[in-house]
């Protein structure tokens, strides 16, 4: 089966194969990003703007704010989890409290709004 990913309820959460998997209101630590001037961005996720699949990664661009410096905006592509076996469709979320590296470009097959 193909992995079906979208954001719903005005970007409140990411659905992976009709299961709510990633929610707004979590804090993510972003390193090596130019989101703000902080060494690591202490990022509050307020809304999922775009989602896509770069097998096996599920990726998203997230609107939110650095709660250390106050800079707000939309991140580059972040891996929010993986679907390792497309047949089972099982989703493994990343630990959002650990450090993440947003990517400028991505090989998204089917980025969707």
Partner 1 sequence: MPSKVEKWKDEVYGNEIREHLMEFAEQGWDAIPEDEHDAWFERFKWWGLYHQRSGQESYFMMRIGTPNGVIKPGQLEVIGEVAKEYASGPADNPEFGDAYCDWTTRQSIQLHWIKLEDIPEIFEKLEAVGLGTQQACGDSWRNIVGCPVAGKDKHEHVDAWPVAEDLHETFKGNDDYSNLPRKWKVAIAGCDEGCGQGDINDLAFEPAEKDGELGFNVRIGGGLSRKEPRLARDIDVWVPPEQAADVAHGMSTLFREHGDREDRFNARIKFLMDEWGPEKMRSVLQEEYVDFELETAGEDMRDQYSYNTGSQDGHNDHVGIHEQKDGNYYVGLNVLVGRMGADDVIELAELADEYGSGEVRLTQRQNIIVTDVPEENLDAFTSEPLLEDYSPEPSPFMRGSIACTGTEYCSLSIVETKNRQVRYARWLKDNVELPEDHKDFHIHLSGCTASCAQPQIADVSLRGMKTRKDGEPVEALDIGLGGGLGDDPRFADWVEMRVPADEVPGAIKNLVNNFEDAREGGETFRDFVEDRDEETLAEMVEPEETDYHDPYMHNTKMTWYPYAEDDDMQSSPAPTDGSGEPLPSDD
Using CB under 8 A as the criterion, which residues of the chain lie in contact with partner 1 when the complex forms? 4, 6, 8-13, 15, 17-20, 23-27, 42, 44, 46-47, 49, 65, 67-68, 70, 72, 91, 112-113
Interface positions, 57-76, toward Zn ion (CB under 5 A)? 66, 68-69
Query: Shortest CA distance to 95 belongs to which of 23, 31, 28?
Result: 28
List residues binding ligand HEM (CB under 6 A): 9-10
Q: Nearer to Zn ion by C-beta: 64 or 81?
A: 64
Q: Nearer to partner 1 by C-beta: 66 or 78?
A: 66
Q: How near is the Cβ of 71 to partner 1 at its closest, in Å? A: 11
Q: Nearer to partner 1 by C-beta: 10 or 104?
A: 10
Dist CA 110 CA 51 (whole Å): 9
The one of Zn ion, ligand HEM, partner 1, none whose footprint includes residue 46, by CB under 5 to 8 A per kind, is partner 1
């Amino acid at each position: 089966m193909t992995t079906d990913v979208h954001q719903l309820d005005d970007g409140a959460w990411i659905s992976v194969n009709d299961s709510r998997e990633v929610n707004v209101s979590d804090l993510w630590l972003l390193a090596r990003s130019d989101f703000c001037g902080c060494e690591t961005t202490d990022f509050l996720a307020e809304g999922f703007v775009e989602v896509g699949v770069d097998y096996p990664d599920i990726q998203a661009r997230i609107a939110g704010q650095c709660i250390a410096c106050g800079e707000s905006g939309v991140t580059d592509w972040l891996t929010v989890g993986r679907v390792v076996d497309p047949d089972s469709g099982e989703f493994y979320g990343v630990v959002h409290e650990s450090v993440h590296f947003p990517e400028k470009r991505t090989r998204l097959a089917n980025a969707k709004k």
